Amino acid sequence: MAGKEKLWIQYKKKVLIIEDEVAILNGISDKFTHDGFLTLKATDGQTGLDKALKEHPDFILVDNLMPNTDGFYFLENLRKDKWGKNAKVIMWSNSHDSRTIARAKKIGIQDFMIKSEWEYRDVVKKVKEALGMKTGA
Amino acid sequence: MDKKNVVSAPKETIAKLKVSAKKKEATRGKLAVKAKTLRLKAEKLATTAKKKEGVRGRLVVTAEKLATTAKEKETVRGNLAVAAKKLALVAKEKEIVRSKLAVTAETLRLKAKQLAVTAKEKESIKNKLEVTAKQLALVAKEKESVRSKLAVTAETLRLKAKQLAVTAKEKEVVRSKLEVTAKKLAVVAKEVELANKELRELDLAKDEFVSIASHQLRTPLTALKGYTGMLLDEDAGPINDKQREYLKEIKNANDRMIDLITALLNVSRVDLGVFVVEPESVDLKKVAESVLSELEMKIKEKGLKMSTSFEKNIPLVKADLKITRMIFQNLLTNAVKYTPARGSVSLNIKKDGSAILISVSDTGYGIPEDAQSKIFTKMFRADNARLKDPSGTGLGLYIVKATVEQTGGKIWFKSKENKGSTFYFTIPLSGMKKKEGSRRLE
């Protein structure tokens, strides 16, 4: 039984979520887990970068405003890495600022999402679409 | 004559010869008469000739006389020709004299006319001179008067000059004071400039504060939204109907709070004038269709009849996509929200002069007459709207009006309670005015 579970886990897509607000981090993480993903969690840019470069997740969801090292710190350093320069990333934030969005798009992201405008299930759907998975909707 | 013939001549012939002899005798008689006549004529002619000779002699005399007369006539003719030449010369001289006389007469006539005119002119000049003389008399009087006045003025000026000398000293004092004031004003201007700069910075700081505050406020609401969603999705296990009902209430209240924060943030940016307008080529039909697709579920739920009318050849217009979308979203959402089930909503886009006119009509609750003047006021909601839907913020139309007007458009409406409303707004064909700023509207 344990062997089967391990095998199954190998096929699961891995999502790294970088979010300083623990309630949100746990909530969205639970949603991804519920929908069949393996999740990795980090609460600032540097921790997130370390996990990303070590674990090579299939997808990364990163907040913008975080204490110490923010989303841009993570993104800029990720793109310097050989693997990281092509990693799939969605930046999600409660900031609507056009300059923030433009800056993130210039560095290279799959999408920019306003947190308060999206249900968790729709965030998961968006990630599934970006990974070419069936959305079930 | 032949004897034989004579011998043998018949009697007839003898007769004939007798007749002929008689005729010859008659002729001879006639000829004798004629000879006599001719003799007589000859005599007459001789007489006539003698007479003619006499006449010729007289004629010769006469001819000689005539010749003499002719010579005398020739002499007279010569004398006459000389006289005629003399007369011709005299006639020519007379003609010349006559011409000279005619010229002299014409000259005299002209002179007479000139004299007549000159006489009139003299009369006129005399009159004028009289008038001028009168005027000069008046001028002289006036001069006298002016001279008196000038004397007074000169005195006054002398007095004023004295006063000015005093004033100049005072002015110098005032100038010094003004210089001091100018220096003070320059200091104040700098202070005002600094104050303005500080105010601008303060505005930006306010906006920054509002942005951060709204971000902070939205963060727990986002968590709330996420967890409520998961509970409703039954990620944590099945829920009963009552639990679903309560969770939906929580979700609605939460969404309302998020909307309110977004609206307040936009109001702050509109009021502070810090929002950006970045015009780009926008297809209004596509914007309208995109907003309508978002509202499709609500339109179906209420069984509304939705109709659209897009005039052909509506050009792409330079507009801020986000602002344009927000205006469409606001007006169409209001129309759907405030129209009872099975009512109608229509959207019309057409060219109107130098602008594109967009109108959103509904057969909804309408705006009561006493509320119409306040409908674009911040936080205002008409009583009937508040009753039908308590969730509105009262900020949507305020933001819409401010953004439409600040981007060069116009907005107005017609409404009748319980009949419906039509909201109109325009975007200039020349496009929205570009506006620099620090923030976009959300």
Q: What is the pLDDT of residue B4?
A: 44
Cβ–Cβ < 8 Å for A34, B235: yes
Whether A65 sits inside 8 A of B215 (CB atoms) is: yes
**Which of B210, B214, B215, B258 to mutate against chain A (most A CBs within 10 Å)?**
B215
Q: What is the pLDDT of residue B155?
A: 87
B325 vs A118: CA distance, rounded Å: 18
pLDDT tens, residue by residue, A60-97 = 999 998 989 999 999 999 999 999 999 999 999 887 77
Contact list, A94 vs chain B (CB under 8 Å): 214-215, 218-219, 222
Q: What is the mean pLDDT of chain A?
A: 89
pLDDT(B206) > 90: no
Whether B258 sits inside 8 A of A116 (CB atoms) is: yes
Alpha-carbon distances of B310 from A101, B230, B285, B295, B348, rounded to whole Å: 33, 41, 7, 18, 6
Contact list, A95 vs chain B (CB under 8 Å): 211, 215
B295 vs B235: CA distance, rounded Å: 27
**Which of B221, B233, B442 minimises the CB distance to A96?**
B442
List beta partners, residue A39: A15
Distance from CA of A99 to the nearest CA of B (A): 8
Whether A27 sits inside 8 A of B226 (CB atoms) is: yes
Whether A97 sits inside 8 A of B211 (CB atoms) is: yes
**Which of A23, A98, A119 minimises the CB distance to B223?**
A23
A to B CB pairs, distance under 8 Å: 58
Contact list, B220 vs chain A (CB under 8 Å): 23
Distance from CA of A110 to the nearest CA of B (A): 20
Structure tokens at A123: 């965030």
**Which of B215, B230, B442 minimises the CB distance to A120?**
B230
Distance from CA of B186 to the nearest CA of A (A): 38
What is the mean pLDDT of the segment spanning B282-295?
94
**Which of A27, A96, A115 minimises the CB distance to B440?**
A96
Lowest mean pLDDT among A38-42, A84-88, A118-122, B302-306: A118-122
List beta partners, residue B424: B359, B412
B358 vs B69: CA distance, rounded Å: 137
**Which of A21, A98, A115 minimises the CB distance to B440?**
A98
Distance from CA of B215 to the nearest CA of A (A): 6
Distance from CA of A83 to the nearest CA of B (A): 31
Lowest mean pLDDT among A56-60, B55-59, B340-344: B55-59
Whether A116 sits inside 8 A of B442 (CB atoms) is: no
Nearest Cα to B224, choosing from A110, A48, A116?
A: A116
pLDDT(A6) > 70: no
Which range, B203-212, B254-263, B309-318, is most confident? Answer: B309-318
pLDDT tens, residue by residue, A89-104 = 999 988 777 778 889 9
- How would DSSP label each residue in B324-389? HHHHHHHHHHHHHHTS-TT-EEEEEEEEETTEEEEEEEE-SS---GGGGGGTTSTT---HHHHHH-
Distance from CA of B243 to the nearest CA of A (A): 19
Note the pTM of the prediction, 2 decimals: 0.57
**Which of A34, A35, A96 to mutate against chain B (most B CBs within 10 Å)?**
A96
Whether A121 sits inside 8 A of B229 (CB atoms) is: yes
Interface residue ranges in chain B relative to chain A, Cβ cutoff 8 Å? 211, 214-215, 218-223, 225-227, 229-230, 233, 235, 258, 262, 276, 278, 439-440, 442
Q: What is the mean pLDDT of chain B?
A: 88
| Type of residue at A123 | V
Cβ–Cβ < 8 Å for A80, A60: no
Q: What is the pLDDT of residue A2?
A: 53
**Which ipTM did the prediction report?**
0.81
Contact list, A97 vs chain B (CB under 8 Å): 211, 439-440
Neighbouring CB atoms inside 10 A of A79's CB total: 15
Distance from CA of A31 to the nearest CA of B (A): 7
Q: What is the pLDDT of residue B301?
A: 94
B335 vs B374: CA distance, rounded Å: 18
Q: What is the pLDDT of residue B60?
A: 86
Interface residue ranges in chain A relative to chain B, Cβ cutoff 8 Å? 21, 23-24, 27-28, 30-31, 34, 65, 94-98, 114-117, 119-121
